[in-house]
Chain A
């Protein structure tokens, strides 16, 4: 019949769908590893790049996907799902999104398998690349490391969206019609990240028990693997040419890398993995591969910086190790607020080191009492207000009009004396300090020759002594002439 698929086409279509499913899983998991992906374009086809896209194959991911598929293909009623979840260092976990590759009954009999379907699947993979960077879990995955990690889980069968909380959103990546059905790729993602705050977990209880309870009670009847999920922060030991993944890792090493919550350095992937292996001695490494949740019980937290987490609930992300550090931190800062205030106010303002007991007494009431206007009683004794030995600051003219011994403070009554605290000055311990110098410099005593009284007196003396001087000069006139000749 015309509508039936030729055997070759059927075979091709099955192969396309199988490899499409595997590549879909690779794209999703790689997008949640927490680092930027970069692959090279190649003008000459290598033959192994399915759908003409350079998508690396992480062997463990392929293995997990094949295990989930178990030889079957996504079909009607049989969806392949990749569940992305977040797990904190304390063992709390939360599903973030579920990617579903489904098939429905709507067939496109006229479509050409080997060409059109293939190209459209390629376009769909490109769309998946773009959309995986847009859902909220992408940003979370880029920041994973110390406080939380991102896990993935692949399952086959019915789609389970119950763990995404209320109000989850769905985005459709795309559809490709084939002669046997329409392939649909979509993502359902959680919007309510406050889910974790409602969980009340006893911190001292073994985490293993909680994890097991969480997954054994599967809401649906179909099989759900006991493993909690695979870690998305797989790191190859060496990274060359911008992102090419290395070969198979020892599964033991992979488990070791899950257990320590070192912050993932952005560029130093090789260094990260080396640290994991070195720290193997400190971390509880299972003798044989166990489900990861079992190995999550004991965590060694190194001096991890307080990396900000993008999820809303800070409390839920604190580790038990950090609790100890918090106590340490609390002991540093003074517990008594009054004491801390005193400690603060004892350091009086900059450039001033006069211990003023009055200020300290007031510190409890007014933190900035040092800058408050002083009480009247203190002004009497304040040397700044009443300088003990400053010269009378008066204009020369005024002084000459009055007697010389006049008190300089008379004209000062009209002026408001302000505190004169020059910068960088100390107390008046030295005879001549900066403040004194300023005062004397600005108010110098008048010149003796400028005082009228003395000048008038000297003038009279000069006139009287003139004739005497003239007689002396005439007598010595020869000496003066000789002097002048010498100069010429």
Chain B
């Protein structure tokens, strides 16, 4: 099975990095989260309800919708914050949201993580000279993010491969069940910083943010 890979590119000011990245990651996760599963004895399950929330950006003329889950928001913000700190004032970087499935292997082999969808957000940071340029940038980045949201929606609505709905014993191989109000697909966020020469930094910074079985 091939992993689906999508790339979204944005060019922003340093102070917009966080909000632009959050907007896109949350838009993706909105589509890749369901309500909590409650399995019944007969093997069927019922699904909880996902609430949504409008978030206005402070530095961009943009509003995005995210899942109403403080826990999930905290996790995403932490990852984005690390990414933002690692990015220099006029550098480039890439933050990736990878959805994966776990495949149980026999002992002594560890479980395999098989990605089925990877979203890469390439961020280029620019420096602007004056307030007028910043104002224009606010609006332009807002429009650009709107286009990216449309791209995300387009890809998701192709309804290509999604992991099969798991049985109760398999649910942790497909979904992240650690959150108490929503259930996103298993995912992890990693990032890479490109130095000014355009080559990848020799030590790729890898942060495992979400992995229920950390081995």
Contacts and interface: CB of A to CB of B under 8 A. Distances in A.
A45 B48 contact: yes
Contacts of B36: 43-44
B54 A36 contact: yes
B53 interface: yes
Contacts of A193: none
Nearest to B69: A41
Contact of A126 (B30, B46, B63, B159): B30
Contact of B67 (A41, A174, A177): A41
B110 to A, nearest CB: 30
A264 to B, nearest CB: 16
Interface string B100-139: 0000000000000000000000000000000000000000
A174 B50 contact: no
Interface residues of B, number: 38
A131 B50 contact: no
A174 B153 contact: yes
Contacts, number: 116
Contacts of A123: 31, 156-157, 159
Contact of B49 (A42, A127, A172): A42
Contacts of B48: 41-45, 52
B150 A131 contact: yes
B80 interface: no
A130 B153 contact: yes
B202 to A, nearest CB: 38
A133 B23 CA distance: 12
A126 B31 contact: yes
Given A41-B51, A129-B52, A174 B27 contact: no
A52 B49 contact: yes
A379 B38 CA distance: 97
Contacts of A52: 34-35, 47-50
A122 to B, nearest CB: 8
Nearest to B63: A133
Nearest to A40: B51
A138 B143 CA distance: 12
Contact of B65 (A44, A129, A177): A129
Interface in B123-169: 146, 149-150, 152-154, 156-157, 159, 165
Given A45-B38, A54-B52, A130 B63 contact: no
Contact of B149 (A36, A120, A131, A175): A131
A40 B180 contact: no
Given A41-B35, A129-B30, A54 B50 contact: yes
Interface of A: 36-46, 49, 52-54, 115, 120, 122-124, 126-127, 129-131, 133-134, 138-139, 142, 171-177
Nearest first, the 5 closest Cβ-Cβ pairs linking A and B are A174-B157, A36-B54, A39-B51, A54-B51, A134-B146
